[in-house]
Structure 1
Amino acid sequence: MSQVVVVTGASGGIGRASAVAFGARGARVALLARGEVGLRAAAKEVERAGGTALPIAVDTADHAAVEAAAARVESELGPIDVWVNVAFTSVFAPFTEIAPEEFRRVTEVSYLGYVHGTRAALDRMLPRDRGTIVQVGSALGFRGIPLQSAYCGAKHALRGVHESLLCELRHRGSKVAVTMVQMPAVNTPQFSWVLSRLPHHAQPVPPIYQPEVAAGAVVYAADHPRRREYWVGASTVGTIVANKIAPGLLDRYLGRTGYASQQTGQPRDPEQPANLWEPADGAAGRDFGAHGVFDERSIRRSPQVWASRHHGLLGAMGAAALTALVATQVRAR
């Protein structure tokens, strides 16, 4: 029997690329997201890739809705083998320009949405004593950067829950596995649809990777979930290492460069959609696809994915080299 996979945030970006990647393996894929236009288009891509698609419109901030979606998946597709949490939202703005209700909304989707998905999956996997949950994390869960305080806070919180859950599963001797994939900057549509108060169009901090690189790491993690986490991209490893060895220097470096590096030279379109409260690909919207607007600048391979899979001597040597490189770059600033 083919795997039954649930992917939240499946209408765009990493979630969409991951759903298609699972579909290419013949999986039965439940796609969860708010935007129905994007969901329908993503479902067609999954089916063209060779999978079976079940699109379900749901806001992951609503635990009851996530639970109902999980019940529908098992009723229509069968027992869930893999649950991938990807859905998120954010606000690009200085901390003092983010309203309390906006901060709460980001937290409800980007943190509690993962909690709700994980709980729905565990309620079904634990009695069967099998299944895998993949949390899509971020380098920003290790190191906060300016203009993304709400998102960084959610990713930091997710790491804490992940570590606690790992310990609890090991305590009970469960065969249910939980792993995280820590992502770098990825060329997703978020930079064209996240609520932004920046003067210029938002961009991921280079180097930028294509969503398919991230999706490949997600699929690999689902197949090999006994690793507690995987890393995608030199920037992710470098950020983590630099924050460990020189957090004060990194504070100053990001204070100087973090505003400009997250914006292009193009003014932000005042009519740009914002998906904080309503999906940008809702009934009146359009399908944004998996890719953002940075295709020409994006990387299609990641040696760090390979190194993360083979984390022996070569991985240690790579980490040491990255440590030296990042330390030199930070001090040079």
Structure 2
Amino acid sequence: MKVRDSVVVITGASSGIGRATALACAAQGAAVVLAARRRHALLEVARHCEAAGGRALAVPTDVTDSGAVQALARRAVGRFGRIDAWVNCAAVTAFSRFLDLPLGDLRRIVEVNVMGYVHGARAALPYLRDQGRGVLVNVSSIVSAVPQPYTQTYCLSKAAVRALGTSLRQELRLDGLKDVKVCTVLPATVDTPFFEHAANYTGRKAKAMPPVYSAERVARTIVNLLRLPRREVVVGTTGRSLILQSKLFPGFAERLMEQQVDKTHLYLTVPARSGPGNLFQPAPGTGSVSGGWHGRRQTTVRRIASLGALLAGGLVAARRWWRPDASGADRPRNRIRT
């Protein structure tokens, strides 16, 4: 579809990827309907979107409230006449050992990250189906395919988002709605305020795990999906390499992720106050795209270094998998390492 003059609803639009996506769509001449909990933040994003050349409508919305999300869709249609695309981007997380995470916090993450997307899809799809065209974009994560420690609830929620997209694509094809597309985006680590706002019960301050990609890069991917929809897109060379490695050497990929997260996703010596972060109350302020982690497009040298490290790990795993027999010929080990 053409992004210019299209109508795009974006949840989680007050900061991070959602905000960057709103600005990118507006710069292409789209009308954007902005949803998040912080009204003052949405109004600021709306001003920036209009300054960029688009039209904007701010609708304060808690995505865990299905009625509010249905009202969001009605407001979008009432103002602009239709919905061409819907981007589910609102998300929260918690850093915690599984048994230390309060059950109420766990439920809240699932309500936002899973039910929020369900509410968005149920609000958007009736309009897209009636039109016979349109795009639903769900922002998942590479941890849906390569889970990590300390954010187990976030990982399971993003795996559910990925499964939701696959199932919806199948249903739409069975109904003959070939022009209603469902796309899933799997970013690697992105430079947003996400980590600063997260709930935390580890005693260690969270940080963005390198390499860090810019939110604008993810936003460009989403805009490109509106133009030319694809089933799934991984954002970040390292993310693609990790997913490939998890398929080829799952045991090694698990061990690599556990070590990387423990050493580089949480500060070793910087303490953090325990608490629910922005799970139940939005973060203060007017929001921002960046979290100050200096995310940028990787240079060629960094790409080669990252890919080389992953490939080297894969070769080590492969060498452990194969060993020579008495004749000197290589043969696989008898037991599977998982």
Most deviating of 36-45 and 79-88? 36-45
2:314 partner amino acid: A
Partners of 1:267 and 1:48 lie apart in 2 by: 40
Contact 1:238 1:322 in 2 (8 A): no
Amino acid at match of 2:14: S
Report the CA distance between 1:270 and its aligned residue: 3.3
Tell me, in whole angstroms, the C-alpha distance in 2 between the residues paired with 1:266 and 1:39.
Answer: 36
Secondary structure in 2 aligned to 1:50? coil
SS for the counterpart of 2:28 is coil
Aligned partners of 1:192 and 1:273 also within 8 Å: no
1:95–1:302 Cα change, 3 Å: farther
1:66 alignment partner in structure 2? 69
Q: Where does residue 138 of structure 1 map in the other structure?
A: 141
Q: Which residue of 2 aligns with 1:183?
A: 187
Q: 1:286 is matched with which residue?
A: 285
- Call closer, same or farther: CA 1:170–1:323 in 2, change over 3 Å: farther
Give 1:302 shift. 8.4
- Counterpart secondary structure, 1:111: helix
Counterpart code for 1:149: Q
The CA deviation at 1:106 is 0.3
Secondary structure of the 1:115 match is helix
Residue 199 of structure 1 and its aligned partner are, at CA, apart by: 2.8
1:300 to 293, 297, 310: 297
TM-superposed deviation, 1:215: 0.4
Matched with 1:199 is 203
C-alpha displacement of 1:58: 0.6
Question: Is 2:266 the partner of 1:263?
Answer: yes
> Who is 1:122 aligned against?
125
**In the alignment, structure 1 residue 45 sits paired with structure 2 residue 44:** no
Cα distance, 1:237 vs structure 2: 0.5
Distance 2:237 2:202 in 1: 27
Letter in 2 for 1:288: G
CA 1:329–1:300: 2 relative to 1, 3 Å: farther
2-structure distance, mates of 1:222, 1:325 = 36
Q: Is the 8 A contact 2:201 2:274 kept in 1?
A: no
Which has the higher Rg, Structure 1 or Structure 2?
2
**1:93/1:198 contact within 8 Å kept:** yes
Q: 1:301 to 1:212 in 2, by over 3 A?
A: farther
CA contact (8 A) 2:105 2:276 kept: no
Contact conserved, 2:200 with 2:276, CA < 8 A, in 1?
no
Gaps of 5+ in 2: 301-306, 320-338
Matches of residues 1-333 of structure 1 in structure 2 within 5 Å? 2-174=5-177, 175-225=179-229, 227-264=230-267, 267-268=270-271, 270=273, 274-280=277-283, 285-295=284-294, 298-300=295-297, 324-325=311-312, 327-328=314-315
Check the 8 A contact 1:193/1:272 in 2, yes or no: no
What CA deviation, in whole Å up to 9, does each residue of 1:204-246 have, x standing for no partner?
2211011101100010011111x21112111210121111111
Is contact 1:232-1:302 (8 Å) kept? no
Counterpart code for 2:218: A
What SS does the aligned partner of 1:89 have?
coil
Runs of 4 or more, structure 1, over 4 Å off, are 320-323, 329-332
The one-letter amino acid of 1:299's match is R
Provide the TM-score with structure 2 as the length reference.
Answer: 0.86
Where in structure 1 are there 5+ consecutive unaligned residues? 304-319
Aligned residues of 1:82 and 1:132 also touching (Cα < 8 A): yes
Tell me the matched-pair count: 310
| CA deviation vs aligned residue, 1:23-42 (integer Å, no higher than 9, x gap) | 00111100000112321221
Shift of 1:263: 1.6
**Corresponding residue SS for 1:140:** helix
Give the C-alpha shift of residue 290 in structure 1: 0.6
Instruction: Name the structure 2 match of 1:309.
Output: none
Q: How far apart, in 2, do the equivalents of 1:191 and 1:185 lie?
A: 10
* Identical columns (%): 35
When the two chains are superposed, the root-mean-square deviation of aligned CA atoms in Å is 2.4
